């Protein structure tokens, strides 16, 4: 893959930070966004990427981020829609307002930011969009109405964008990780070496991007070899 200009949301920790590290190490220009200034500063100091404090659920923040990418890098070649979080609750006791708030990040924020980046990619007739969904968007589970629903939406949106953007030389890939050893959902201390790590998902994304431009992986799920166990 030649030198590319990356914009990675949710880049202050987990999969986003691991991807920023791998992309920067490979010589790519990288801008990461996130809401936590301390974590962003840490990623920037470790990797040399440019970090912007921004909330993908904010249209004003998204406009500012895209303008920053244009000013700093001249555009965006690779958009990684990674920002997201989980709200869980059983039907019958669901906090629908909390579900709506989560959709603002996981779904509407993803659409809003991509809506601003795609015209740049169409102009250059080239680009990659990677939407990070989840295996939760491939199967239902108890308490997962909100989160799984948002990730099912991301998968469907990805398929629509593939139909729209392939004629413009823009590839759209949807990545569905299984459980990854990050602090996602506030769960820490998961240290089983047989399970997925953030760098595994980052490496998978880089592998997809490294495929020849004539090749599109529309969707791929990534599982650990062994069933999940907490330490």
pLDDT, mean over the chain? 94
Residue 182 neighbours by CB distance under 10 Å:
20
Domain assignment of residue 62, yes or no: yes
- Give me the CATH number covering residue 45: 3.40.50.720
State the Cα–Cα distance between residues 89 and 38, nearest whole angstrom: 30
H/E element, 30: strand 29-34
pTM: 0.94
Q: 50 in helix, strand or coil?
A: strand
Catalytic residue check, 147: yes
Token pair for 12: 């202050």
- Burial of 58-72, coded b for 16+ CB within 10 Å and e otherwise, reads beebbeebbebbeee
| Domain interval for residue 41 | 5-222
* pLDDT tens string 26-83: 999 999 999 999 999 999 999 999 999 999 999 999 999 999 999 999 999 999 999 9
Whether 39 is covered by a domain: the verdict is yes
Tokens of 212: 């020849």
**Nearest-10 crossing angle of helices 145-165, 96-103:** 30
Torsion angles phi and psi, residue 142, rounded to 5: -60, 140
194: pLDDT strictly greater than 90:
no
Report residue 177's pLDDT band, with 50, 70 and 90 as the boundaries. Answer: very high
Alpha-carbon gap, residue 206 to 211, rounded angstroms:
9
**Residue at 25 is within a domain:** yes
Position 228 in a domain: no
> Does 231 map to a domain?
no
| pLDDT interval class at 227 (50, 70, 90) | low
Residues 144-160 have a mean pLDDT of: 98
Is a pLDDT exceeding 60 seen at residue 211? yes
Which element (helix H / strand E) includes 209?
helix 198-210
Catalytic residue among 85, 87, 147, 197: 147
| Structure letter (DSSP) for residue 26 | T
How many angstroms separate the first and last alpha carbons of the chain? Answer: 38
Q: Is residue 230 part of a domain?
A: no
Q: Name the domain count of the chain.
A: 1
Alpha helices in 33-103 (DSSP H): 37-47, 59-73, 96-103
pLDDT value at residue 225? 85
Compute how many other C-beta atoms are within 10 angstroms of the C-beta atom of residue 37: 11
Could you read off the pLDDT of 70-112 as tens digits, one per residue?
999 999 999 999 999 999 999 999 999 999 999 999 999 999 9
């Amino acid at each position: 893959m030649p030198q590319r200009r990356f914009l990675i949301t949710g880049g202050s920790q987990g999969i986003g930070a691991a991807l920023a590290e791998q992309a920067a190490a490979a010589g790519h220009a990288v801008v990461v966004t996130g809401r936590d200034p301390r974590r962003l500063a840490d990623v920037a100091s470790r990797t040399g990427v440019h970090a912007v404090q921004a909330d993908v659920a904010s249209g004003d923040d998204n406009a500012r981020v895209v303008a920053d990418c244009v000013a700093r890098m001249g555009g965006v070649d690779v958009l990684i829609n990674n920002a997201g979080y989980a709200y869980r609750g059983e039907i019958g006791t669901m906090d629908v307002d909390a579900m709506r708030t989560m959709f603002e990040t996981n779904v509407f924020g993803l659409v809003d930011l991509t809506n601003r980046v795609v015209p740049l990619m169409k102009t250059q007739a080239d680009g990659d969009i990677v939407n990070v969904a989840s295996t939760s968007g491939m199967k239902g589970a108890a308490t997962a109405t909100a989160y799984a629903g948002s990730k099912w939406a991301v998968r469907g949106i990805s398929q629509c964008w593939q139909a729209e953007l392939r004629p413009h030389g823009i590839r759209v890939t949807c990545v569905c990780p299984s459980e990854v050893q990050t602090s996602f959902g506030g769960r820490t201390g998961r240290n089983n070496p047989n399970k997925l790590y953030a760098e595994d998902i980052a490496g998978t994304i880089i592998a997809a991007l490294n495929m020849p431009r004539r090749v599109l992986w529309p969707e791929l799920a990534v599982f650990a070899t062994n069933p999940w166990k907490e330490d």
